[in-house]
Amino acid sequence: MSNKSKISLSEEELVLALRRHEKIAVEALYDMYSSSLYGVISRIIVDTAVAEDVLQETFVKIWHSFASYSTEKGRLFTWMVNIARNLAIDKLRSKDFKNQNKNQELEINVTFIDEQRNTVYKPELLGIKDLVQTLKADQKEILELVYFKGYTHVEAADELGIPLGTIKTRLRMAIQQLRKHFN
């Protein structure tokens, strides 16, 4: 799909249009945010088909619970990405998904683990090389775990064997670094 056919609205316009149940709002919502949301989902869930299902579930849930979104609480994307991440993590921890992975274990155990724990960004992504270079290794690590693997900061502290306070500080530093980068 080419970028020309994509619909883009300002966030304010989009929120208003969604509240008015306009068809164009749904298309704009998808065109504006599907790739960002899918970027998060597809890193948490490696199985493409399952990741696609989760993306669809995410948009359905966004629509059904849109009344609960308030601009005062924050940006639309923050609200949406948390829905997407929660659905993806729920799926990852669901019984079905675990059973499915057990079946795969013997054959693709190694590649599966590699994909799950791969800390290398996909090279096709624009600006990633710069972004990677701006982050220190420990910052990158914590951002990976919390943002792309669905770890809570408590789980990340356990995983990395460092105190909670340090996790919080590192996370803040990483995001500060991103802010600098994007500004």
State which of residues 8, 10, 56, 119 lies at the interface with other proteins (CB under 8 A).
56
**Contacts by 116-120, CB closer than 8 A, 24 or more apart:** 116/46, 116/149, 119/144
Count of other CB atoms within 10 angstroms of residue 156 = 22
User: Which range touches other proteins (CB under 8 A), out of 91-99, 106-114, 145-153?
Assistant: 145-153
Q: Which stretch in 93-101, 108-116, 120-128 sits in contact with other proteins by CB under 8 A? A: 120-128
Asked if 40 and 85 touch (Cβ cutoff 8 Å), the reply is yes
* Residue 52 contacts other proteins per CB under 8 A: yes
Contacts to other proteins from residues 88-107, by CB under 8 A: none
153-160 helix and 164-182 helix, angle to the nearest 10 degrees? 110
> Which phi and psi angles does 66 have, rounded to 5°?
-65, -30
Q: How far is the CB of 83 from other proteins (least distance, A)?
A: 9
Would you count residue 178 as binding other proteins (CB under 8 A)?
yes
On the CB side of 13, CA atoms within 13 Å amount to 9
Residues that bind other proteins (CB under 8 A): 1, 21-23, 26-27, 30-31, 34-40, 42-43, 52, 55-56, 59-60, 63-64, 72-75, 77-78, 81-82, 85-86, 121-122, 125-128, 131, 146-148, 152-153, 168-169, 171-172, 175, 178-179, 182
